[in-house]
A and B are shown apart, each in its own frame.
With several copies, the nearest count.
Chain A
């Protein structure tokens, strides 16, 4: 378990993965974008605006995926006190928050042409918003505390408590919505996906995932270096 606690070993592993991830990103992004914007037909009801889907849906998937990464890292940190897990959560959270913001923004932009409004208090949108707040809280704790280890463990506790919340929010909000506004559930049945749309969607999802891996690894390396810096500073404090 603690094998990769050695930063040098981690760095070596990361350096081996990075080129591959970059290749996958370039390939899938280029082909995916081509398919999404030129190679697939506009939707019959939605017209060209359907192309937002190729960004929106992968971003929404990644938003949830990143949270699970953060939660997994938190669990590892709490149970096994794995030092790299601490940094992994810290590295993944801002990426997740960005994807969440992207899902929110693209969703809102999509909402305007399809529903005539940028924002609806619909179950799925709301639960993603709450997810965004959880990310913000996680990052705020990290920023707010004096000691890195302490901050990380506090943030981990929050992340784990937040996991309990996610299914509840989704479930409850959908229930809450049907009481007031059953009409907005419409979106859930969405346009049935034809393979001409499925392929670019999957390719874009792959590209997003590769992007995540790359940024995540770079951020891990950054965190490790930052950590070294902190320790160096600390060693200054009591130099005699």
Chain B
């Protein structure tokens, strides 16, 4: 049973990564949203390097968060609409396992590319050289919380058409602590202060989300099936 569960789990993760990067998937698209939306800020705020450097960590993190958010929209929705959610519910893995697998796949296929691209945007936004390492590290540490929390929202809104915007209403407030710790860490580095403390808090947020996320998502998915 455990061996088969593991097979199902990895199989599901692979399936979702494959779908995310196949035609019309969210993988490439979230990345382009991230790039474009960050690029809009210099248009909006003006090109002064000093201002840009000052707001860079905040803007990059907020936009990464929004990109993650809009890609979450379809985390369960596609499976719900085409009836695959019924199949997922009948898998021996159980719905919590299914949710965890889908969250892993989302993070790997959609969020990880954002993390990889973030130094480029740091360049565009004139981020101080000292802060690059911490920014990437804070994204690696904090974004799992975004996927995990977002999964709960996505599961809750899955049976609601046009859930996308409702999703943001549910999820954004829960993102605030993660955001604050992460930006705190990057700012600390930019100002040559030790970012250990906010980073520790960030890790704690991700861990907490890991405990609650899959379970709560499964409960919400049950509701959608009813």
Determine whether B128 belongs to the interface, using a CB cutoff of 8 Å to chain A.
no
A179 CB, nearest partner CB in chain B, Å: 6
Could you tell me the dominant secondary structure of chain A's interface residues?
Answer: helix
A43 CB, nearest partner CB in chain B, Å: 25
- Contact between A157 and B152 (Cβ–Cβ < 8 Å)? yes
- Contact between A136 and B32 (Cβ–Cβ < 8 Å)? yes
Which of A150, A172, A177, A180 lies in contact with B159, CB distance below 8 A? A150
Instruction: Kindly identify, within residues 197 to 214 of chain B, every residue whose CB is under 8 Å from any CB belonging to chain A.
Output: 201, 205, 208, 212
- Contact between B223 and A162 (Cβ–Cβ < 8 Å)? no
Known A-B contacts A141-B170, A177-B47; A172 and B208 likewise in contact (beta carbons under 8 Å): no
Cα distance A119–B122 in the bound complex, in angstroms: 11
Could you tell me the dominant secondary structure of chain B's interface residues?
Answer: helix
Determine whether B29 belongs to the interface, using a CB cutoff of 8 Å to chain A.
yes
Residues of A within 8 A of B188 (CB): 179
Residues of A within 8 A of B157 (CB): 141, 144
Which of B42, B46, B169 lies in contact with A137, CB distance below 8 A? B169
In this complex, how many residues of chain B approach chain A with their Cβ under 8 Å: the count is: 45
* Interface residues, chain B, with chain A CB atoms under 8 Å away: 23-24, 28-29, 32, 36, 39, 42-43, 46-49, 52, 123-124, 126, 152, 156-157, 159-160, 163, 166, 169-170, 172-174, 176-177, 180-181, 184, 187-188, 201, 205, 208, 212, 216, 219-220, 223, 226
* Interface residues, chain A, with chain B CB atoms under 8 Å away: 78, 117-122, 126, 129-130, 133-134, 136-137, 140-141, 143-147, 150, 153-154, 157-158, 160-162, 164-165, 168-169, 172-173, 175-177, 179-181, 184
